[in-house]
């Protein structure tokens, strides 16, 4: 940190500062704000939500089980076999609690009718854009009709104007999986050649566009009882768009997630953002943490890069939800040193010197893949007792291989808030804001 | 500035393209590319195209000129790519090559326009709102006939401030400042940077800023000041912009050198951002000591007031205001990296129902929406915001930037004010009849 | 087995082999060319892209320098569109022998390399990222050359003149009866069919593999010493001029700006196996350290990928050495009639990309001698297809083209600005379902995201256009991912690591490609649901590494 600035340039004080605006950070922040804490989220940019499918995948694969059918039960087996996994630290109870909390919170901050469905009893198997079937635990209502067990005859609809979705490939792979799927191409006149699903999603907010779309699609449909579309059914009121399409087409309609930017992911971010705002939390985007003030085992404040100078945020508690290797929260430099970038915390899961970090097989598990910030069972960082770690920064997980990224983010964010609330004295922390 | 420094500076901005992982988050947030296909988007025009640009070779992508320079892309980028800055450099290179239209040379000089317009305000305002005159201006200059034109106030803020200063000096002989003193027990001092919008078009906003600050115990100094150079920079006139911002930095830094604790505060959020960051980063003026000093000590008015509140030092003797207000955070305000302090301040006012608008941009982007070829785009960009404002049922829109306010008023027919208006009213300062 | 009959059979589709085919076709000879893989997939496609001015050989090998001077001039004319006129610099850094610079200048003067000493400050103005501590700087006419473009152009030109170019045809036997070679039998790698090619003369242009091919004809003692070197592509143009260290050529002493990237090269390790593509970490570290000396901050810049090339260094029986850099870089043309008493076979090996045309000329001259015909060489004056205007390639070309079609053209590979129309045309023209073949044509997937976004798009288009079965398309997708990863993981750190994780996220987290019916790890799915029973049909061949061990 720089020396004392002008008198007005002191730090801003909060009960907790959350670093990172992905699912984990937002969950921790909302929970904290809901319990009365003054909380501020600082983030370099918008987080992981925009890149993910918009589903909450709790557990899709564990050792020896290619495809997890019952995530709740599999969770127990995982916890038993991998004591270093974040789920083992969290316990299955926290996972279940965090999902219930998410249902409630999402329901309160979602656009009307846009709800998440599913549960720990059974994973849903949903088609991906390439036509593989991916297990998810909670999915937005707009994807639910794609559940493979109920999918018999489906039209997979796309347009050449959208380069990020290929109905013929998707349908062909679904046929390999025993689903009678047929590609349907629409000729849509769009104003640009490089249109993303997001660009089309903005059109789907408009009922007139939906009517035109359906008028073109209807005649192309045959005996299919389901219609699969790339995930682009609007941002503002996706449930209305879904209902509108189902009514006009007379068939069940479902969204299929595709390449980033993820429309369902953006909806999820918006839900979390709204929930944070209505709970009274603050959010500062474009504010990368560049320094920390440390007193022994405690972090006193962090400094973010704001325009022209650093802004300082002081708090008795910090939640580190800055992600793992994908976000750059943890990095490997050209001298092969691995480090936690925000606070310089010790890591776990770094291969020993001389051991491979990566292996030649793209599909094999990469040795560096499970790296994370070393934590105690309370998720507190080693060497920084007032820093609680959540999300992809936690060691021991393989978010995509195991299909557990969002589940870990949600449960650990939830847990981080719980730890802080409990440790700082039951009930509302000091300085709670009266609203 | 030597070519060498320019290229090194350029190199470091350019170097940030290495951080891009093509995630496209910037494109989800870009207001312009979501409204027109003429701009291919920040990822495309920025880190992607930059790999094809060689210093000294001719520019081949004129579409980068459709970037409005709002800067949202750089803010939302989780990877640390200086997208908007890369684009600004590419626009500068384009302008160097193809020249700058006369129109841009005129509308990018608000001080000059203001000095001409103010003494003849009634005539100038008439002309600005007279259809035939506007058609003529569009044909001759390329300033769109429907673009929002501010009205000259006919008086200058600085005139009021000088009179006020004399008054206060007289007062202080008898009564010390009203509010709590600073950490040294001295009256708090701020240097007020009002910008051209306040000076020529909305002097009342500046008057309110001063009164709210004084209500909180500040001694407000208003040095002589000119334009910050932002309009020049956003139109790609970098050399002129450098001269302009440095001139301003000279005059604002003088009082800071006298008082190590003094700060600058401004209500023109894009102009304060120019002082804080853009002048240094985009114009490559990192090494100028005046600008560096000014940059570190400049605060947006809402940023300052909220920081005071967080420390328990803001007066909260607010009277209720039973109204609905829509709040729009302008792009440049978001560029400060301080969240949305106005939202938290407005929430302090009892009875006031604040509706946060969730749209990216009003579309004006400084002078972008004035240009004939871009006005349509600017209105399309703003459509989402306009619709949300109209749906909110709020009679008034609070917004931190003056050009955005003019655009919002133009696009919605609603009144648009700086958030300070509500604080001023809630403090009861309106009634004081200053 | 079907049979073709021709004047000249060329074995090997690198720059030399295709150069021979182009030269021979221009002289009116009938040509068939075969390669076990795609064109320019061996040594030619695995170098840094330098068109030598001759400067690198000015002191050490004056003969090679003179050849480079002449060929540089010719290629700038006939292959203009494949060459970017970057210019080159030789700079003396604090780590270089300060005495070399004067020897360098003298060597250039003697060998005809156009060389001009400039003030270091002037060099730095042009290349501001260069180490400011350089003490001497020389400008030379180095340039960068796009080998693939060169090879495709020659191949198309030859085909227009009747040549038959057959990639993915591996020679399985060379037809030798008595002391005469009469052609070869090649196997089509895709169909498995064998094809007999009868030829009046057979040219072995297989570079580092030339000894093996000669052996197939029963000829021993053609010793080509493979020298393996690694090169690392950096994400963007750290320099816009070819930058060489002004010293005796050594490891990591050159950065070549080519297309959108800059390539640092190279190491030099003897290997026994020309198909050896190992990338030892100490070589990567050495490259990065040397890069840092030329361009401070190099280690913080983004490395995209690493690859190895194997130089064919013809071993002169008289000079035996294991340090391959000291073996001559000169090329060798072996007339096996004179050397071994075997008619109808020539071997051309050694040399360097810059002199491929000269090598081809000498080879076809020898072919004509064997045929007893007099046909003058025309490659010195005949421009390659696409280079007729004589204008050099500029980096901004693709950006300019997209700008002209901003609203009409859909980009599939955003990093390398590859539009859909080009992709569809390449799929139709090559008839290939291998995305890696398409990549070499178009640079698909060669930018920062290394296929993260375009692989799915390209597979979708491939599937739709070619009417592939799902399993074939899936195999293409998975093979391309594996192929991209091959060059990424040994040099994975910093920004590229974030990219690799995002790509993994896209393919595993969003698309779930590991759950495709053909995916490597798919076992029986355990009957998750009625419809979920994936056909466990294994046998997807797409993942087998193409380079045979």
- Contact assessment for residue A272 and residue A160, using Cβ atoms and an 8 Å cutoff: no
Residue C408 forms contact with B (CB below 8 Å): no
Of B53, B83, B98, the residue that ends a domain is: B98
Same domain, residue pair C108 and C236: yes
Mark which of B50, B80, B98 sits at the end of a domain: B98
| In a shared domain, residues B179 and B279 | yes
**Out of C414, C492, C513, closest to residue A130 by CB:** C513
| Residue B180, number of CB atoms within 10 A of its CB | 14
Stretch B155-159: mean pLDDT, rounded? Answer: 94
Q: What is the pLDDT of residues A132-153, one digit of tens each?
A: 999 999 999 999 999 999 999 9
Q: Is the pLDDT of residue A307 over 90?
A: no
pLDDT tens digits, one per residue of C276-299: 888 999 999 999 999 999 999 999
CB atoms within 10 A of CB B404: 30
Whether C392 contacts chain B with CB within 8 A: no
Contacts of A331 in chain C (CB under 8 A): 494, 497-498
Residue C73, domain member (yes or no): no
Q: What is the DSSP string of B360-390?
A: S--S-TTTGGGBTTTHHHHHHHHHHHHHHHH
Q: Taking residues B9-32, what's their average pLDDT?
A: 86
Contact status of A290 with chain B (Cβ, < 8 Å):
no
Q: Is residue C488 part of a domain?
A: yes
Rounded CA separation C242/B147 (Å): 50
- For domain A129-256, say whether CATH 1.10.3470 is its number: no
Residue ranges per structural domain of chain A: 12-107+267-423, 129-256
Q: What is the domain range of residue B20?
A: 3-98
B330 close to B270: Cβ distance less than 8 angstroms = yes
Do residues C7 and C25 both lie within one domain?
Answer: yes
Q: Are residues B418 and B376 in the same domain?
A: yes
Q: Report the C-alpha gap between A210 and A248 in whole angstroms.
A: 9
Q: What pLDDT does residue C328 have?
A: 54
> Which of C123, C239, C399 is the mutation pick for testing B, counting most B CBs within 10 A?
C399
Is there a single domain that holds both residue C410 and residue C511? yes
- On whether residue C233 sits in a domain, the answer given is yes
Asked if C282 reaches chain A (Cβ–Cβ under 8 Å), the answer is no
Say if C460 is an interface residue toward chain A (CB within 8 Å): yes
**Integer Cα distance of C478 and C545 in angstroms:** 12
Task: Answer yes or no: do C135 and C255 share one domain.
Answer: yes
CB atoms near residue B191 (< 10 Å): 24
**Number of domains present in the structure of chain B:** 3
Answer yes or no: is pLDDT of A429 > 50.
Answer: no
Query: Tokens standing for A132?
Result: 């593989």
* C433 & C483 share domain: yes
CA of A64 vs chain B CAs: smallest distance (Å): 33
C185 & C258 share domain: no
Residues B9 and B49 sit within 8 Å (Cβ to Cβ):
no
Query: What does the block give as tokens for C488?
Result: 């990424």
> DSSP states of A222-262 as a string?
-S-SEEEEES-S-SS-HHHHHHHHHHHHTSEEEEE--SSSP
Question: C314 and C450: one domain?
Answer: no
Selected residues 484-523 of chain C with any CB under 8 Å from a CB in chain A = 484-486, 489-490, 492-494, 497-498, 501-502, 504-506, 508-517, 519-523
Radius of gyration of chain A (CA): 23
Residue B182: pLDDT over 80: no
Cβ neighbors of A217 (< 8 A, separation 6 or more) are A157, A184, A186, A227, A249
Q: Are residues B66 and B170 in the same domain?
A: no
pLDDT grade, residue B389 (50/70/90)?
very high
A168 and C CB contact within 8 Å: yes
How far apart CA B292 and CA B276 sit, in angstroms, is 8
Integer CA distances (angstroms), B71 to B77, B274, B341, C63, C539, in order:
10, 12, 19, 57, 52
The answer on B93 and B206 residing in a single domain is: no
pLDDT of residue C272: 87
DSSP string covering C359-420, please?
HHHHHHHHHHHHHT------TTTSPPTT-TT-PPP-TTHHHHHHHHTTTT--EEETTTTEEH
Query: Which residues share a beta bridge with A43?
Result: A285
**DSSP conformational letter for B46:** I
CATH code, A12-107+267-423: 3.50.50.60
Per-residue pLDDT tens for C392-437? 999 999 999 999 988 889 999 999 999 999 999 999 988 888 999 9
Q: Are residues B340 and B399 in the same domain?
A: yes
A 40-99 residues with CB < 8 A to B: 40, 43-47, 50-51
Mean confidence (pLDDT) of chain A: 93
Establish, for the pair of chains A and C, how many residue pairs have beta carbons separated by less than 8 Å.
Answer: 203
Adjacency order of strands within the sheet including A180-186: A180-186, A153-159, A226-230, A252-256
Per-residue pLDDT at B258: 83
Helix (H, G, I), strand (E, B) or coil at C244: strand
Pairing of strands C194-204, C180-188: antiparallel
User: Is B389 found in the same domain as B369?
Assistant: yes
Local structure of residue B278 (DSSP, 8 states): I
Nearest CA in chain C to A323: C498
* Lookup: tokens for A112: 């009307």
Q: Are C13 and C167 in contact (CB under 8 A)?
A: yes
C346 & C438 share domain = no
Interface test with C, best of B1, B19, B22, B27 (most C CBs within 10 A): B22
Most confident range, picked from A410-424, B307-321, C459-473: A410-424
Q: Is residue C435 in some structural domain?
A: yes
Say whether both C282 and C421 belong to one domain.
Answer: no
Q: In a 3-state reduction of DSSP, which class is residue C162?
A: coil
Determine the pLDDT at residue B402.
92
Comparing alpha-carbon positions, the chain C residue that sits nearest to A55 is C510
> Rounded to a whole number, what is the distance in angstroms from the first to the last CA of chain A?
33
Please give the distance of CA C507 from its chain centroid, rounded to a whole number.
28
| 3-class SS letters over C165-209 | EECCEEEEEEEEECCEEEEEEEEECCCCCEEEEEEEEEEECCHHH
Domain membership of residue C261 (yes or no) is yes
Instruction: Give strand pairing partners of A183.
Output: A156
Instruction: Read off the pLDDT band of A8 (50, 70, 90).
Output: low
Cβ separation B22–C406 shorter than 8 A: no
Shortest alpha-carbon distance between residue C248 and chain A (Å): 27
What span, in angstroms and rounded, lies between the C-alpha atoms of A11 and A150? 56
* Alpha-helical runs (H) found in B216-322: 230-234, 238-258, 269-273, 279-281, 289-297, 301-310
Round to whole Å and give the CA distance between C343 and C177.
Answer: 10
Mind listing the pLDDT tens digit for each residue in A172-228?
999 999 999 999 999 988 888 888 899 999 999 999 999 999 999 999 999 999 999
Asked if residue C255 and residue C115 are part of one domain, the reply reads: yes
- Can you read off the two tokens belonging to residue A350? 């770094």
How much is the pLDDT for A63? 85
DSSP labels for A124-188? EEEE-TTS-EEEESEEEHHHHTT-GGG-SEEEEEEETTBTT--HHHHHHHHHHTT-EEEEEEE--
B297 and B172 together in one domain: yes
Chain C positions touching B66 (Cβ under 8 A) are none
Cβ of C302 and B18 within 8 Å? yes
Whose structure tokens read 């909180």? Answer: B216
The answer, for A205 touching chain B at a CB cutoff of 8 Å, is no
The answer to whether residue C491 sits within a structural domain is yes
CB half-sphere exposure, A81, CA atoms < 13 A: 11
Query: In 3-state terms, what secondary structure has residue C55?
Result: helix
Residues C158 and C208 in one domain: yes
Number of domains in chain C: 3
pLDDT in the model for residue C522: 40
> B51: which chain C residues are within 8 Å (Cβ-Cβ)?
235-237, 260, 415, 447
At residue C324, the pLDDT reads: 46
Cβ neighbours of B77 in A, within 8 Å: 44-45
What is the nearest CA distance from C423 to chain B, expressed in angstroms? 19
Q: Is the ipTM of this complex over 0.90?
A: yes
Query: Rounded distance, CA A132 to CA A171, Å?
Result: 10
Is A261's CB within 8 Å of B263's CB?
no
Domain-ending residue, one of C324, C349, C381: C324
Query: How many H helices and E strands in chain C?
Result: 15, 22
Q: Count other C-beta atoms under 10 Å from residue A119's C-beta.
A: 17
CATH number for the domain that contains residue B12: 1.10.1060.10
Query: Alpha-carbon distance B369 to C355, whole Å?
Result: 57
Q: Touching check for C77 and chain B: CB below 8 Å?
A: no
Helix, strand or coil, per DSSP, at residue B57: coil
Mean pLDDT for back-to-back runs of 10 residues, chain C (549 residues): 96 98 98 97 93 96 95 98 98 97 98 98 95 98 97 98 97 97 96 97 96 94 91 97 96 96 93 89 96 96 96 65 50 93 95 96 97 97 97 96 91 97 93 92 95 97 88 95 96 97 95 82 35 31 30
- Distance between CA atoms of residues B50 and B203, nearest Å: 42
Alpha-carbon separation of residue A329 from A49, A289, A311, B379 (angstroms) = 16, 11, 20, 39
Q: Are C175 and C184 in contact (CB under 8 A)?
A: yes
Domain of C366 in residue numbering reads as 2-43+148-224+327-371
pLDDT for the residue B434:
43
- Tell me the shortest Cα–Cα distance from B262 to chain A, in angstroms: 7
**C278 in a domain, yes or no?**
yes
Task: Answer yes or no: is B291 within a domain.
Answer: yes
Question: Domain of C129: which CATH number?
Answer: 3.30.9.10
| Interface residues on B facing C, Cβ-Cβ cutoff 8 A | 3-4, 7-8, 11, 14-15, 17-23, 37-38, 40, 43-44, 48-55, 57-58, 60-63, 79
Same domain, yes or no: B256 and B224: yes
3-state DSSP call for residue C230? strand
Chain B contact for A284 (CB, 8 A cutoff): yes
Residue B139, in any domain of the structure: no
Residue of chain B whose Cα is closest to the Cα of C398 = B52
Q: Is residue B185 a part of any domain in this protein?
A: yes
Start-to-end CA span in chain C (Å): 28
Residue B252: its chain A contacts at CB < 8 A? none
Establish if C378 belongs to a structural domain: no
Q: Which two tokens stand for residue C111?
A: 């060998």
Report pLDDT for B77: 93
**Full-model pTM:** 0.92
Residue B385 has pLDDT above 50, yes or no: yes
Cβ contacts of B78 on chain A, cutoff 8 Å: 43-47, 327
Residue C287 tokens read as 């490259």
Distance (Å, rounded) from C-alpha A311 to C-alpha A286? 12
Cβ burial, residue C543 (10 Å; 0-12/13-18/19+): middle
- Residue C83: strand pairing partners: C145
Does B296 lie in the same domain as B194?
Answer: yes
Same domain? C183 vs C199: yes
- What is the SS3 assignment for C457? helix
- In B, minimum Cα distance to C503 occurs at B21
């Amino acid at each position: 940190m720089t020396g004392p600035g002008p008198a007005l340039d002191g730090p801003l004080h909060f009960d907790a500062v959350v670093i990172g605006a992905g699912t984990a950070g937002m969950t921790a922040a909302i929970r904290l704000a809901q319990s009365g804490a003054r909380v501020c989220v600082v983030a370099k940019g918008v987080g992981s939500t925009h890149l993910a499918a918009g589903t909450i995948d709790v557990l899709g694969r564990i050792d020896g089980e290619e495809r997890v059918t019952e995530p709740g039960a599999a969770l127990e087996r995982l916890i038993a076999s991998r004591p270093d996994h974040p789920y083992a630290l969290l316990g299955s109870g926290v996972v279940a609690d965090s999902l219930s909390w998410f249902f409630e919170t999402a329901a309160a901050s979602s656009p009307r009718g846009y709800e998440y469905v599913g549960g720990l009893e059974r994973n849903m198997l949903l088609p991906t854009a390439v036509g593989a079937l991916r297990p998810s635990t909670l999915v937005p209502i707009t994807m639910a009709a794609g559940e493979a067990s109920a999918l018999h005859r489906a039209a997979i609809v796309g347009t050449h104007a959208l380069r990020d979705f290929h109905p013929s490939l998707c349908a062909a792979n679904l046929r390999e999986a025993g689903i009678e799927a047929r590609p349907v191409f629409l000729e849509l006149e769009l104003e640009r050649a490089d249109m993303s699903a997001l660009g089309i999603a903005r059109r789907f907010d408009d009922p007139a566009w939906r009517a035109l779309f359906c008028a073109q699609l209807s005649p192309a449909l045959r005996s299919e009882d389901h219609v699969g579309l790339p995930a682009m059914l609007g941002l503002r009121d996706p449930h209305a768009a879904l209902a509108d399409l189902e009514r006009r087409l007379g068939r069940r309609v479902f969204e299929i997630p595709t390449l980033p930017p993820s429309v369902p992911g953006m909806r999820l971010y918006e839900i979390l953002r709204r929930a944070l705002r209505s709970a009274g939390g603050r959010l500062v985007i474009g504010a990368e943490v560049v320094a920390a003030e440390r007193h022994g085992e405690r972090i006193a404040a962090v400094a973010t890069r704001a325009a022209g100078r650093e802004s300082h945020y002081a708090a008795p508690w910090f939640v580190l939800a800055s992600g793992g290797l994908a976000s750059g929260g943890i990095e490997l430099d050209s001298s092969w040193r691995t480090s936690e970038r925000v606070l310089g915390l010790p890591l776990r899961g770094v291969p020993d010197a001389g051991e491979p970090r990566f292996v030649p097989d793209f599909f094999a598990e990469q040795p560096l893949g499970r790296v994370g910030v070393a934590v105690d069972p309370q998720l507190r960082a080693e060497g920084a007792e007032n820093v609680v770690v959540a999300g992809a920064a936690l060691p021991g997980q393989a978010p995509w291989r195991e299909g557990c990224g969002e589940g870990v983010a949600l449960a650990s964010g939830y847990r981080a808030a719980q730890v802080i609330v409990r440790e700082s004295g039951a009930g509302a922390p000091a300085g709670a804001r009266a609203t | 500035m030597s070519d060498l420094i320019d290229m090194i500076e350029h190199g470091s901005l350019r170097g940030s393209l290495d951080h891009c992982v093509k995630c496209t988050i910037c494109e989800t947030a870009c207001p312009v590319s979501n409204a027109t296909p003429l701009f291919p988007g920040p990822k495309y025009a920025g880190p992607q195209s930059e790999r094809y640009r060689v210093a000294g070779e001719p520019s081949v992508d004129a579409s980068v000129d459709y970037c409005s320079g709002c800067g949202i892309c750089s803010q939302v980028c989780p990877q640390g790519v200086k997208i908007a800055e890369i684009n600004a450099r590419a626009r500068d290179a384009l302008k160097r090559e193809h020249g700058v239209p006369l129109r841009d040379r005129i509308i990018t000089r608000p001080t000059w326009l203001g000095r001409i317009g103010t003494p003849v305000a009634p005539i100038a305002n008439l002309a600005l709102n007279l259809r035939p005159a506007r058609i003529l201006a569009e044909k001759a200059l390329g300033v769109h006939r429907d673009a929002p034109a501010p009205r000259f106030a006919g008086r200058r803020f600085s005139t009021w401030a000088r009179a006020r200063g004399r008054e206060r000096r007289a007062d202080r002989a008898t009564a010390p400042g009203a509010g709590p003193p600073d950490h040294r027990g001295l009256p708090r001092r701020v240097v007020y940077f009002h910008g051209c919008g306040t000076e020529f078009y909305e002097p009342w906003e500046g008057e309110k800023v001063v009164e709210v600050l004084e209500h909180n115990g500040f001694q407000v100094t208003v040095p002589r000041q000119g334009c910050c150079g932002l309009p020049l920079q956003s139109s790609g006139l970098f050399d002129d912009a450098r001269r302009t911002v440095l001139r301003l930095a000279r005059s604002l830094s003088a009082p800071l050198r006298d008082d190590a604790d003094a700060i600058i505060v401004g209500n023109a959020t894009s102009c304060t951002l120019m002082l804080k960051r853009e002048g240094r980063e985009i114009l490559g003026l990192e090494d100028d000591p005046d600008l560096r000093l000014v940059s570190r000590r400049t605060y947006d008015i809402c940023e300052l007031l909220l920081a005071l509140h967080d420390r328990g030092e803001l007066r909260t003797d607010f009277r209720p205001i039973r109204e609905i207000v829509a709040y729009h955070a302008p792009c440049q305000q978001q560029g400060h990296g301080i969240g949305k302090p106005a939202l938290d301040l407005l929430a302090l006012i009892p009875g006031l129902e604040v509706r946060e608008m969730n749209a990216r941009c009003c579309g004006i982007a400084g002078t972008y929406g004035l240009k004939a070829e871009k006005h349509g785009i600017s209105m399309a960009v703003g459509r989402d915001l306009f619709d949300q404002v109209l749906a909110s049922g709020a009679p008034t829109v609070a917004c931190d930037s003056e050009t955005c306010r003019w655009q919002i008023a133009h696009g919605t027919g609603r009144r648009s004010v700086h958030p300070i208006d509500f604080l001023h009213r809630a403090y009861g300062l309106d009634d004081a009849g200053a | 087995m079907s049979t073709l009959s021709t004047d000249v059979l060329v074995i090997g589709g690198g720059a030399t082999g295709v150069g021979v085919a182009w030269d021979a076709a221009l002289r009116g000879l009938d040509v068939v060319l075969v390669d076990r893989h795609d064109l320019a997939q061996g040594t030619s496609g695995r170098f840094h892209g330098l068109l030598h001015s001759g400067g690198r050989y000015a002191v050490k090998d004056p003969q090679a320098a003179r050849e480079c001077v002449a060929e540089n001039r010719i290629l700038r004319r006939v292959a203009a569109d494949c060459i970017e006129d970057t210019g080159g610099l030789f700079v003396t850094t604090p780590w270089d022998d300060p005495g070399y610079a004067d020897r360098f200048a003298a060597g250039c003067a003697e060998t005809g390399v156009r060389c001009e000493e400039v003030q270091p400050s002037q060099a730095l103005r042009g290349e501001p990222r260069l180490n400011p501590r350089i003490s001497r700087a020389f400008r030379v006419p180095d340039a960068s050359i796009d080998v693939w473009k060169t090879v495709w152009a020659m191949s198309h030109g030859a085909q227009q003149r009747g040549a038959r170019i057959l990639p993915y045809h591996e020679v399985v036997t060379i037809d030798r009866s008595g002391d005469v070679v009469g052609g070869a039998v090649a196997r089509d790698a895709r169909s498995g069919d064998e094809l007999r090619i009868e030829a009046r003369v057979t040219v072995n242009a297989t570079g580092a593999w030339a000894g093996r091919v000669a052996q197939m004809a029963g000829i021993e003692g053609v010793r080509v010493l493979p020298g393996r070197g690694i090169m690392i592509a950096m994400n963007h143009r750290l320099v816009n001029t070819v930058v060489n260290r002004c010293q005796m050529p050594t490891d990591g002493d050159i950065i070549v700006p080519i297309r959108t990237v800059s390539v640092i090269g190279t190491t030099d390790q003897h290997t026994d196996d020309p198909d050896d593509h190992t990338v030892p970490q100490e070589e990567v570290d050495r490259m990065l350290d040397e890069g840092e000396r030329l361009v401070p901050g190099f280690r913080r810049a983004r490395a995209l990928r690493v690859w190895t090339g194997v130089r064919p260094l013809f071993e002169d029986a008289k000079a035996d050495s294991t340090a391959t850099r000291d073996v001559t870089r000169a090329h060798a043309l072996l007339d096996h009639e004179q050397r071994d008493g075997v008619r109808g076979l020539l071997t051309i090996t050694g040399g360097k990309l810059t002199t491929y045309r000269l090598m081809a000329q000498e080879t076809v001259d020898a072919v004509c001698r064997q045929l007893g015909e007099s046909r003058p060489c025309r490659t010195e004056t005949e421009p390659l297809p696409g280079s007729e205007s004589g204008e050099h390639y500029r980096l901004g070309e693709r950006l300019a083209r997209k700008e002209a079609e901003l609203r009409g053209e859909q980009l599939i590979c955003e990093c390398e600005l590859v539009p859909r129309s080009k992709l569809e045309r390449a799929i139709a023209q090559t008839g290939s379902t291998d995305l890696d073949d398409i990549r070499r044509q178009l640079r698909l997937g060669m930018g920062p995201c290394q296929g993260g976004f375009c692989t799915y798009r390209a597979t979708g288009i491939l599937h739709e256009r070619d009417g592939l079965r799902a399993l074939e398309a899936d195999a293409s997708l998975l093979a391309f991912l594996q192929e991209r990863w091959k060059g990424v993981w040994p040099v994975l750190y910093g920004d590229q690591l974030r990219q690799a994780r995002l790509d993994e996220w896209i393919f595993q987290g969003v698309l779930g490609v590991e759950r495709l019916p053909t995916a490597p790890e798919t076992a029986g799915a355990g009957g998750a649901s009625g419809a979920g029973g994936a056909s466990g049909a294994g046998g997807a061949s797409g993942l087998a590494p193409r380079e045979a061990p």
